[in-house]
Every structure is written in structure tokens, then in C-alpha cells.
């Protein structure tokens, strides 16, 4: 069992951590929540029935873990963060790369103002590029709800970004272009 858990941890750590980093916009919170997620996975692994993929089951645990965390703190939405804090300095960074980071910061700040359901579906579909089926499984929604919520979330994100003038500057993947 321990060897199986180690294999699962190694295989899915990056997916869980990145999902939680997008959700929290905080490395330390993402690390803490990733650890908590894998503790829950370890405790619940014997209950995994295979109704979904192991990956979507683990990410749904990560989703619930993040909601529980914010519920305990009585925070209804995550405060906008600053991606630039992750950078130690701008020295040696080409101007184009810095502009891209500033634009990403605008996108991240707009994303953080969305309600949690919208933020979740944008992270899964738009940023992580999970399929509708995978997203539905992680969010424990039906596929139609994923489609509708994603569409509404993108409209809301587009509206927020157009206010900042970032929508046209940020190069979203063509598949999920705003």
C-alpha cells in the first residue's frame, strides 16, 4: 500500500499542486493544501471505486480540500495576489518577457475575482486544458453544467479584462481563446 501511495504521489503531485496554485495564487497555501490533499488521498485510497479516473478523483479531493480550507478561514473568495511577487527582480528579464508577466498578472488578478465555481472551471478547462468529461468528473458536475459555466466564466473574465485593456494583449491558447 505504501509503495502504491508513493507512486500515486509522484505521478499526480504536479497536477494537484498546479491546480491549487492557480486556485490560491499562493505558493505556501498551495503547498499546504497539496500536502493536506495527499493525506486525504492516503486515508481514502481504499474507498476509490474506479467510477472516474484516479487523476480526476484526486483533483476532486484537492477541490474539496481547498473549499474546506477557505470555509474554515471564513473567506468567501480569495484575495487577488500578485504574480510578480514570485519574481525576485526584473534584472536580466527581456522587456517582452516582462510585459508577458505583467499581462499574466492582470489575467490572474481577474481570475481571482471570479466566484469559485467560475474560477475552478476556467482553471480546469482554460488553463489546464482538461476535457469537458474530466472537468465534470473533478467538479462532480454534469458535462452540460461544465459547458455552460465555462462559457459564463469566460464571458465574465473577458468583461473584467476588457476593463483593464488586457484581453487583446494576452495571448490565450486558441482552443480556449477569450
More confidently predicted of 132 and 75: 132
Q: Is 171 helix (H, G, I), strand (E, B) or coil?
A: coil
The reply to whether 12 and 41 lie within a common domain is yes
Q: Which of 37, 72, 107 represents a domain boundary (last residue)? A: 72
Q: Which of 57-61, 83-87, 157-161 has the highest mean pLDDT?
A: 57-61
Q: How confident is the model at residue 69 (pLDDT cuts 50, 70, 90)?
A: confident
Strand (E) positions, 101-177? Answer: none
In a domain, 129, yes or no: yes
CATH number at residue 138: 1.10.10.10
**Distance (Å, rounded) from C-alpha 45 to C-alpha 54?**
10
The reply to whether 63 and 113 lie within a common domain is no
More confidently predicted of 106 and 149: 149
Domain region containing 137: 93-168
> What 3 state SS string does 50-63 have?
CCCCHHHHHHHHHH
Overall domain count for the chain: 2
Model pLDDT for residues 19-37, shown as the tens digit of each residue: 999 988 899 999 999 999 9
Res. 62: pLDDT tops 90: yes
Res. 122: pLDDT tops 60: yes
**Distance (Å, rounded) from C-alpha 3 to C-alpha 98?**
43
Identify the pLDDT of residue 135: 94
In a domain, 103, yes or no: yes
In a domain, 88, yes or no: no
Amino acid at each position: 500500500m505504501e509503495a502504491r501511495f508513493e507512486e500515486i504521489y509522484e505521478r499526480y503531485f504536479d497536477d494537484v499542486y498546479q491546480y491549487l496554485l492557480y486556485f490560491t495564487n499562493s505558493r505556501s497555501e498551495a503547498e499546504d493544501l497539496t500536502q493536506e490533499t495527499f493525506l486525504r488521498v492516503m486515508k481514502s485510497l481504499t474507498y476509490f471505486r474506479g467510477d472516474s479516473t484516479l487523476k480526476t478523483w484526486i483533483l476532486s479531493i484537492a477541490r474539496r480540500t481547498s473549499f474546506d480550507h477557505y470555509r474554515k478561514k471564513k473567506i468567501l473568495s480569495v484575495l487577488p495576489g500578485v504574480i510578480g511577487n514570485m519574481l525576485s527582480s526584473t534584472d536580466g528579464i527581456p522587456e517582452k518577457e516582462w510585459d508577458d508577466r505583467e499581462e499574466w498578472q492582470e489575467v490572474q488578478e481577474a481570475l481571482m475575482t471570479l466566484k469559485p465555481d467560475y474560477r475552478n472551471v476556467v482553471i480546469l478547462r482554460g488553463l489546464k486544458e482538461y476535457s469537458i468529461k474530466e472537468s465534470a468528473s473533478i467538479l462532480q458536475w454534469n458535462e452540460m453544467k461544465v459547458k455552460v459555466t465555462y462559457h459564463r466564466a469566460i464571458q465574465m473574465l473577458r468583461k473584467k479584462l476588457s476593463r483593464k485593456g488586457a484581453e487583446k494583449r494576452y495571448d490565450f491558447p486558441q482552443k480556449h481563446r477569450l
